[in-house]
Amino acid sequence: MVIGSGKIYLMANWVHSLKEKRMIVKSIIAKVHNKFNVSISEIENQDYHQTITLGIACISNDKRHVDRVMQNVIDYIEKITDAVIQDIEIEII
């Protein structure tokens, strides 16, 4: 069993309230969850309205598959939002 986990740090400078941020986060999570078979959630910085930290987890029996899925999720998030990806941490064990 191979487990891939990751954190994606996003910055949304135009967001002025937690309500706006929640709409963006819910949209990203719903789209990623519907397109890929991964677990995704906001995991940090819930009280800061311009920073978004998403956690992603993927399980498979093939390391290459996990790596490919994680990269596809990152690419997809980059396409569907105007938020800027600041940092990405990926761990595959």
Q: How much is the average pLDDT of 62-85?
A: 96
* 7 pLDDT tier (thresholds 50, 70, 90): very high
Name the average pLDDT for the chain: 96
Q: How much is the average pLDDT of 56-67?
A: 96
Count of C-beta atoms within a 10 Å radius of residue 91:
10
In angstroms, the Cα distances linking 7 to 53, 65, 70 are 7, 18, 10
In angstroms, the Cα distances linking 77 to 6, 8, 62, 65, 93 are 13, 9, 23, 18, 23
Is residue 37 over pLDDT 90? no
The string of pLDDT tens digits covering residues 9-27 is 999 999 999 999 999 999 9
Residue 32 · residue 66 · CB < 8 Å: no
Count of C-beta atoms within a 10 Å radius of residue 15:
20
The CATH label, of 3.40.50.1010, 1.20.120.330, 3.30.70.1120, 2.60.40.10, for the domain at 2-92 is: 3.30.70.1120
Is residue 45 over pLDDT 90? no
Q: How much is the average pLDDT of 23-51?
A: 95
